[in-house]
Amino acid sequence: MPLHDKFGRQITDLRISVTDRCNFRCVYCRSADPENHVDSRELLTWAELERLARVLAGLGIRKVRVTGGEPLVRDGVEDFIAALRRLGFADISATTNGHLLAERCDRLVRAGLDRVNISLDSLDAGKFQRITRTRSLGKVMAGVDAAQASPLRPVKVNAVLVRGINDDEIEAFAEFARERDLTMRFIEFMPLDADRHWTRELVVPAAEVKRRIEARWKLEEIPHERSETARKFRFADGRGEIGLVAPVTQPFCGFCSRIRLTADGKLRTCLFSKEDRDLKSRVRNGASDAELACYIQSVVEEKEEGHRINEPDFVPPSRTMVFIGG
Ligand code: SAM
């Protein structure tokens, strides 16, 4: 029985956060405190994650994205991806900060990963350090190279734009997409940062990004599925694509097909859900697969109509991006 919510949306996409730990501390995401993560006993084991993935496959989930935290810092992620492959998902992707990608790319491909999104918020070493609080730009670039040299396709590079920090690099990122023949995605900053610094003024609207790129290069829109997060464009005169992800200024909730499983076993029906639903206690207290499926269906049924970032009564979610899994 496929998963539907009460607004008629079919849920086919699952994001699984496999850890809340990360080797970066991006200013728009998590605090500087390296100890800010849950105890590892709170995390679902690989076997528990695999079981929930199997139950969700039975409920019609077709696409799975493995994320975190930083998914590559948890040992065993390749075996988990291989297990997802055996479960028959049509599309298996990962989101990574790229730090460990060059050394792990071959293993990820062998495990059955289809594609990868790599976060890269600046092409300038000093600014990269200011944003991520690491000196890893070279390693991330090596990760991009390794992904492009591998069968992983498409390779997408994600930049979260924050006004006054990296919005001066929009054209440089576009050049990067053209030179490297990859998809550069610009993501609007959302109120999910641990330090609660988000303000509307810090958001760089996707329309501004498009205007600035179009001032230099002609873009052609690429048709996309309505449930996809990005509007996509190719450069009319050559290689490379851009994607605009505009959850703040152009919300796409009406066609959302996603749910999220957090590393500590909570089901979230929206990035901005006020509450998450506990699957871990059910798994650990002996619920059968049928009982889990029934519970998941009842939670998904109540998926929020949309986030309320633009409403006067908006309350940021209790959990920030790093605990939810982007
Ligand atoms: N560690 C991996 C990475 O860096 O890609 C995966 C997890 S990260 C939370 C997933 C995505 O969420 C990244 O593309 C990151 O840039 C994005 N992200 C984190 N905080 C965000 C925020 N406040 N607004 C928009 N995107 C955010």
pLDDT of 187 reads 98
Tracing tokens 């498009």 back to the chain, one arrives at 210
The 10s digit of each residue's pLDDT in 293-313 is 999 999 999 999 998 888 888
Mean pLDDT of the residues in the chain: 95
Tell me how far the alpha carbon of residue 322 lies from the centroid of ligand 1, in angstroms.
7
pTM above 0.75, yes or no: yes
Ligand 1 mutation pick, 27, 119, 134, 197, max ligand atoms within 8 A of CB: 119
Q: Which among 239, 213, 240, 243 is positioned nearest to 228, based on CA atoms?
A: 243
Tell me how far the alpha carbon of residue 209 lies from the centroid of ligand 1, in angstroms.
19
Q: Render 127-161 in DSSP notation, one character per residue.
A: HHHHHHSS--HHHHHHHHHHHHHSS--SEEEEEEE
CB 108 within 8 A of CB 137: no
Q: Which of 33-37, 85-89, 250-254, 303-307 has the highest mean pLDDT?
A: 85-89
pLDDT of 38 reads 84
Ligand 1 surroundings by CB, under 6 angstroms = 22, 28-29, 67-68, 70, 95-97, 119, 158, 160, 187, 189-190, 192-193, 321-322, 326
Q: Which of 25-29, 215-219, 319-323 has the highest mean pLDDT?
A: 215-219
The 10s digit of each residue's pLDDT in 88-143 is 999 999 999 999 999 999 999 999 999 999 999 999 999 999 999 999 999 999 99
Considering only CA atoms, give the Rg of the chain.
Answer: 19
Tracing tokens 């590393």 back to the chain, one arrives at 263
Which atom of ligand 1 is closest in space to residue 70's alpha carbon?
Answer: 1
pLDDT at residue 81 greater than cutoff 90: yes
Cα 316 from Cα 241, distance rounded (Å): 32
The 10s digit of each residue's pLDDT in 173-211 is 999 999 999 999 999 999 999 888 999 999 999 999 999
Token digits of residue 94: 């990962």
pLDDT of 128 reads 98
Tell me how far the alpha carbon of residue 289 lies from the centroid of ligand 1, in angstroms.
31
Tell me how far the alpha carbon of residue 223 lies from the centroid of ligand 1, in angstroms.
25
Q: Give the list of residues 6+ apart from residue 103 with CB closer than 8 angstroms, or none.
A: none
Tracing tokens 């039975």 back to the chain, one arrives at 58
Q: How many residues does the chain have?
A: 326
